[in-house]
Copies of this chain bind each other. A is one copy, B any other.
């Protein structure tokens, strides 16, 4: 019911097409390497046509980042965090499982988060805040873990490992991210100690 109103014939959703093309281009060429012309060509418009939807190149970037954050990141992980007995391993496994189904999105985030290390990058603040939010949520969760485990160290180490393993996954198209992460779990949660906690 939220499709085009009135009696207009079914046609592609331009806005969604533009966002998809932008995700692709930001991932493969980065923000600076992306041109509105290429995106326009990809969706069958002219530059002016694209600018009608996104106002500017920075506007396109913000649109992509905000849309993604709102629709994807939150609700899957939140459901894990609110369990009676939240497990770090389950939390990460769920995150990885979601990412395994969205390689293009992971690709874009990997490329942009490296490019945005520079403080002048238009997405620099976004990635800084995102990292901070992710860590503070994880640190304030009452994890169920074996006695003596330093959860903060483990969380920071594990998030780092996830970034690296996703890069390797994207570099070798054939591999299964979930399987790669399963191997990582054996390192992060060694089994005599973590028996019953994963």
Q: Judge whether A160 and B168 touch: CB under 8 Å.
A: yes
Interface residues on A, range: 35 or more
Query: Which of A33, A160, A171 has its CB near the most chain B CB atoms (within 10 A)?
Result: A160
Instruction: Tell whether A162 is near chain B: CB-to-CB under 8 Å.
Output: yes
Contact A30 B183 (CB under 8 A): no
Residues of B within 8 Å of A184, CB to CB, are 153, 156-157, 160
Which residues of B lie under 8 Å from residue A111 when comparing CB positions?
114-115, 117
> Nearest Cβ in chain B — how far from A157, in angstroms?
4
B32 with A29: CB separation less than 8 A: yes
What chain B residues lie within 8 Å of A159 (beta carbons)? 164
Of the candidate stretches A3-11, A45-53, A55-63, A186-194, the one touching chain B is A186-194
Question: Which chain B residues border A76 with CB–CB below 8 Å?
Answer: none
Say yes or no: A118 contacts B28, CB within 8 Å. Answer: yes
Q: Which of A176-198 contact B (CB under 8 A)?
A: 180, 183-184, 186-188, 190, 193
Give A147-184 as 1s and 0s: 1 = Cβ < 8 Å from B's Cβ atoms: 00010011011111111110110110000000010011
Q: Do A153 and B183 contact each other (CB < 8 Å), given the known contacts A127-B171, A164-B159?
A: yes
> B118–A29 contact, CB under 8 A?
yes
| CA distance in complex: A144, B157 (Å) | 23
- 19 other A-B residue contacts (CB within 8 Å) besides A27-B118, A28-B121, A157-B183: A27-B117, A29-B118, A30-B32, A33-B33, A110-B114, A111-B114, A117-B171, A127-B171, A128-B171, A153-B183, A154-B187, A156-B165, A156-B168, A159-B164, A160-B162, A160-B168, A161-B161, A164-B164, A187-B188
